[in-house]
Amino acid sequence: MDPGLDWVIVGGESGKRARPMHPDWARGLRDQCAAAGVAFFFKQWGQYAPWDDDNWSLPDGYDDVVCHERAYRMGGVDFLNVGKKVAGRLLDGREWSEVPG
């Protein structure tokens, strides 16, 4: 039996002391999982959502949320403190909900 990984679950931190998670970190894990045939599950961005002025939308029902102040800038990415519910769980425009087969 192969003792290797069969599932990787990734998620950003939430709460008062949360830190942002760079999208490249999540993408790197996703890509490594794909190459190794390991299921990848992206749970959430956490408290901070990566902000891209050209590619940002809030989930249905959150059109009234306004947050224009940048909370962090890390590795060329801006992050806004919008809360985990609003930040959601889309990575590169889709949900990653793979489970071990």
Reported as a single tens digit per residue, the pLDDT across 59-95 is 555 555 555 455 778 888 888 888 898 889 999 989 9
Confidence of residue 54 (pLDDT cuts 50, 70, 90): low
Across 3-28, average pLDDT: 92
Neighbours of 78 (CB within 10 A): 17
Return the pLDDT at 57. 53
The predicted pLDDT at position 81 comes to: 85
Residue-wise DSSP of 1-55: ---S--EEEEE---STT-----HHHHHHHHHHHHHHT-EEEEEE--SEEEE-TTS
What is the chain's mean pLDDT, rounded?
84
**Quick check: pTM over 0.85?**
no
pLDDT at 4: 85
